[in-house]
Structure 1
């Protein structure tokens, strides 16, 4: 009887919540319509474009507030001046710098993604921001893309699963996440005009799923359009991408915001779904014209077109409804929390994400962990051991309260050791949009590095990329796949005098490793934010067992990457057009299907312990359409340390009538086990997840036949295989 009463109560509560939500939505819609009736045409248009670098107008006479935005997605950017890109000079705008999103993706931990979103959302709310411009979910297509560090890797399933909890965490604070850059912004070179040509199948299978998940599962309140063109129309006012797919098929009820300066045509902006125009004419009010903001495409030019009858005012009303809906969710939401800034909890979240995202790539003879109690000499060599990484990168630059460098973290943790440091190489100042060579003497830096390497018991080479122009930075792509600033040569010279050397890579991208066979260990550490040095020390000391997995493939050489296998038309394009000739075979899909062995595979990452999948089975062997497939796996920690493993489930279509990748990720789960402990986990997928996009019918198609379920610890390390039948 008690169980029955509880079920009745639960059903009543759910029904009440549904009715309450519907009532709230109806109440909001009624308020929006009331406001709409009171607005002049000029006031409506003022809501649809910028009034400063990072804000849009309200309606003062009606008490409708402005909308304030801030760059993300790794922290809340320092305040920018009203009408220029200069810093405003505030003293209270330092933030917690969280790890870059490549690191978050490498955790393969959706719970951490929620923690990340909640913490950064609290910081945005405290700073009175209404829209946080992030997260980014553009697919990692080439390792040269300067902005890959802001995204969630090469796999659409992984990106989809990681973006949703991030959005939930941010928006709980009454701050809109703004998922970017919609869509196909997969390079920085020529980003402001390059026209992308791609098959419908690749569009729907690879490049749209994370955006779709953000809208339909994440319920995101805003989306940022991309700079580039798609099939001849700019993405911020693209009839197919915005009107048909985003606002039509996916029923997105939020606001489409331009990237800064990505609007190009008044009529298209009006008719093809743009809601808020930002950054057009970046000199703003400093223009020689009376008011540059009034001359935005969606300002006076659109006002004239509506008055002339060329565009119906109802088109503007639809945009205003969306903007007001965003306001009721954010700046006019009286019940939203106050937020918090730079709390100990936020720094702990940043550190936890960094710890779980660091990937151990190589560990010959158990080089790591290093005993912090041991008396020895450690040479820490490399500019990246001390270089501040939160300052560069373009719009993701941050002003943080502190950034613990790798050197500082190592010095604090290894107090019994004598820690020596030499730069070894130098990159020059961090300047956005320009490359400035260092004035330091290269030979002197190298000589000093080799000198301390000879003295040391072990060498930790802290190198990689940085966030300067032509590195991991907005505005352009990398020029080379190799390490910059002579690092490869320096490493070879160090190895001649001390073979007991490990490499700690700081980067948001894959790099070439011609020295790999000679070094004892390699640690991929990303850009880790405020707690970078502490998290690195946590891993190399063994206080934390590494559990990160690569969210993208590391090719042996650049030509092994799919985008670089078809000549310049595939990357970077001919200056006007670009063709994604690799189609659906992106990342590990390309390596596996074409049998091109990667240097390190998608999903790969070592631990200080070992794991094995003891058994795996499905609940049945034959399935129908719309049916759930449940896979149970028993995993055992066969080593002597507590650790975490990511079990990954890939699917292979054995009887496909079209080209399909050899395998595709469809589920994953991270599990923590004590030494000798084993646990059984379940992974669930729908048979609908086995479908491919059939561009002849413009819909998803599930074919009957046999499928393999591949259970492993990376795309290359498959431990168990199960064959099922789909009718």
Structure 2
């Protein structure tokens, strides 16, 4: 229509071409890189530090390879690619190490690993041109898959159930909500059956969100494994056998049931054209605290293979003005027998607010590495921005 001249158009095209010439079109590009060994190592470290040890009764983890002869690995997510699917989060990664591959690579001939699928969730083996290493097609009936899993589990020293969600529609994918908080594909029922034949079971939850765990009291080991990228299998194996001490903490609350979430408790989900956030500021752990709803696993929760002891919290002043800062300090000691990292978290409470406020709010956190017996002092300094809130009146 002549609203934009060719001069402006040429300049915009030139910018796109300039970027292309400097990156993907130049094999010897002077700027940037992707898919390198350095990227893989960084991704693995991030994955290892993000994995959360949720439950570890009787110290079932880490797996003691000097005493373990047979490991049963059960679950579709042990062999399923997770860098693909989910909508716009789908990637074309250079490679992806599955949990089963990572375990076999790390354990080698130190113990026998036997795999059973246990259930069929999403048999898709081709996402956006990315073809799975192994076909996920399986014509066996649920009864046959269950029978195989139980047989494998019965004779094992430890059972690793690697399940959870996936990137399919109605799972952890954009554009669709999950139908339920519980695990899909009959996983809950399968776990209940597995516990009957072997009490030494660890559930590794591969997901981007919380799931219900009605069997939580029966399963001694629970690990939140997330979607960990190309080095997923190597990172998980390192945590499970104890090469790496877990130090991740939950970034959201795992509720026991949907009604423990404000949106569901107040009947506003899923809503229509208009949705009223009746829970106000009380979302996540703030809602759980307000309602005194005991979560399955709390925001900020995460265990370690060592133990930590906190000293008394000290503060540098008892009063502060709007222009002041206040510093909190606490000593943290590794009281266990191995090195580990702890995420120290600072929460505050506003006891005399003019408006309703959460019982506690996270205002600072820091991860520190401590050798066995080592002690460090952690300090947090906050100013009025951390203590302020919005008054809509």
Q: Establish whether residue 424 from structure 1 lines up as the match of residue 118 from structure 2.
A: yes
In structure 2, C-alpha distance between the alignment counterparts of 1:513 and 1:128, rounded to whole Å: 49
Call closer, same or farther: CA 1:346–1:62 in 2, change over 3 Å.
closer
Deviations 1:262-307 (A, max 9, x none): xxxxxxxxxxxxxxxxxxxxxxxxxxxxxxxxxxxxxxxxxxxxxx
Task: State how 1:7-26 maps to structure 2 within 5 Å.
Answer: none
In structure 1, C-alpha distance between the alignment counterparts of 2:68 and 2:92, rounded to whole Å: 37
How big is the shift at 1:438? Answer: 7.0
* 3-state secondary structure, aligned to 1:379: strand
In structure 1, C-alpha distance between the alignment counterparts of 2:187 and 2:318, rounded to whole Å: 53
Task: State how 1:5-154 maps to structure 2 within 5 Å.
Answer: 41-43=3-5, 59-60=9-10, 64-66=14-16, 126-127=23-24
Structure 2 regions of 5+ residues with no counterpart?
128-135
How big is the shift at 1:622? Answer: 0.7
Equivalent pairs, count: 380
In structure 2, C-alpha distance between the alignment counterparts of 1:501 and 1:634, rounded to whole Å: 36
In structure 2, C-alpha distance between the alignment counterparts of 1:353 and 1:662, rounded to whole Å: 31
Deviations 1:78-132 (A, max 9, x none): xxxxxxxxxxxxxxxxxxxxxxxxxxxxxxxxxxxxxxxxxxxxxxx84479xxx
* 3-state secondary structure, aligned to 1:684: strand
1:507 alignment partner in structure 2: 207
Deviations 1:657-694 (A, max 9, x none): 21100011111111100011001121111123211100
In structure 2, C-alpha distance between the alignment counterparts of 1:408 and 1:489, rounded to whole Å: 26
Q: Is the 8 A contact 2:103 2:233 kept in 1?
A: yes
CA RMSD of aligned residues (A): 2.5
**Structure with greater proportional helix content:** 1
In structure 2, C-alpha distance between the alignment counterparts of 1:563 and 1:62, rounded to whole Å: 45
In structure 1, C-alpha distance between the alignment counterparts of 2:122 and 2:207, rounded to whole Å: 17
Q: Is the 8 A contact 2:150 2:193 kept in 1?
A: yes
Q: Establish whether residue 352 from structure 1 lines up as the match of residue 45 from structure 2.
A: yes
1:50 alignment partner in structure 2: none
Q: Is the 8 A contact 1:428 1:439 kept in 2?
A: no
Q: Establish whether residue 576 from structure 1 lines up as the match of residue 269 from structure 2.
A: no
Q: Establish whether residue 670 from structure 1 lines up as the match of residue 367 from structure 2.
A: yes
Q: Is the 8 A contact 1:373 1:414 kept in 2?
A: no
Q: Is the 8 A contact 2:68 2:157 kept in 1?
A: no
Q: Is the 8 A contact 1:642 1:675 kept in 2?
A: yes
1:561 alignment partner in structure 2: 261
In structure 2, C-alpha distance between the alignment counterparts of 1:490 and 1:532, rounded to whole Å: 24
How big is the shift at 1:443? Answer: 1.3
How big is the shift at 1:375? Answer: 4.6
* 3-state secondary structure, aligned to 1:555: coil
Call closer, same or farther: CA 1:477–1:60 in 2, change over 3 Å.
same
Task: State how 1:529-608 maps to structure 2 within 5 Å.
Answer: 529-567=229-267, 570-573=268-271, 575-608=272-305
* 3-state secondary structure, aligned to 1:404: coil
Q: Establish whether residue 461 from structure 1 lines up as the match of residue 155 from structure 2.
A: no
In structure 1, C-alpha distance between the alignment counterparts of 2:100 and 2:250, rounded to whole Å: 24
In structure 2, C-alpha distance between the alignment counterparts of 1:371 and 1:580, rounded to whole Å: 49
In structure 2, C-alpha distance between the alignment counterparts of 1:68 and 1:437, rounded to whole Å: 45
1:382 alignment partner in structure 2: 75
Q: Higher relative contact order at CA 8 Å, sep ≥6: structure 1 or structure 2?
A: 2
Deviations 1:126-166 (A, max 9, x none): 4479xxxxxxxxxxxxxxxxxxxxxxxxxxxxxxxxxxxxx
* 3-state secondary structure, aligned to 2:4: helix
How big is the shift at 1:341? Answer: 1.9
Call closer, same or farther: CA 1:65–1:407 in 2, change over 3 Å.
same
1:278 alignment partner in structure 2: none
Call closer, same or farther: CA 1:441–1:68 in 2, change over 3 Å.
farther
How big is the shift at 1:562? Answer: 1.3
In structure 1, C-alpha distance between the alignment counterparts of 2:269 and 2:10, rounded to whole Å: 48
Write out the 4+ residue segments of structure 1 that deviate beyond 6 Å after TM superposition.
67-70
TM-score scaled by length of structure 1? 0.50
How big is the shift at 1:440? Answer: 4.0
* 3-state secondary structure, aligned to 2:55: strand
1:659 alignment partner in structure 2: 356
User: Which stretch shifts more, 549-558 or 336-345?
Assistant: 336-345
Q: Establish whether residue 370 from structure 1 lines up as the match of residue 63 from structure 2.
A: yes
TM-score scaled by length of structure 2? 0.91
2:149 alignment partner in structure 1: 449
Deviations 1:409-434 (A, max 9, x none): 111122211100000001133488xx
Q: Establish whether residue 643 from structure 1 lines up as the match of residue 340 from structure 2.
A: yes
How big is the shift at 1:69? Answer: 10
Choose the corresponding residue for 1:340, options 33, 48, 60: 33
Q: Establish whether residue 613 from structure 1 lines up as the match of residue 310 from structure 2.
A: yes
How big is the shift at 1:628? Answer: 1.2
Q: Is the 8 A contact 2:341 2:370 kept in 1?
A: yes
In structure 2, C-alpha distance between the alignment counterparts of 1:62 and 1:562, rounded to whole Å: 47
In structure 2, C-alpha distance between the alignment counterparts of 1:379 and 1:640, rounded to whole Å: 29
* 3-state secondary structure, aligned to 2:91: coil
How big is the shift at 1:437? Answer: 10
Deviations 1:311-358 (A, max 9, x none): xxxxxxxxxxxxxxxxxxxxxxxxx96101221110000000000000
Choose the corresponding residue for 1:491, options 183, 186, 191: 191
Q: Establish whether residue 692 from structure 1 lines up as the match of residue 389 from structure 2.
A: yes
1:632 alignment partner in structure 2: 329
Structure 1 regions of 5+ residues with no counterpart?
1-39, 47-57, 71-124, 130-335, 697-727
In structure 2, C-alpha distance between the alignment counterparts of 1:401 and 1:539, rounded to whole Å: 23
Call closer, same or farther: CA 1:67–1:647 in 2, change over 3 Å.
farther
In structure 1, C-alpha distance between the alignment counterparts of 2:19 and 2:347, rounded to whole Å: 39
Q: Is the 8 A contact 1:390 1:400 kept in 2?
A: yes
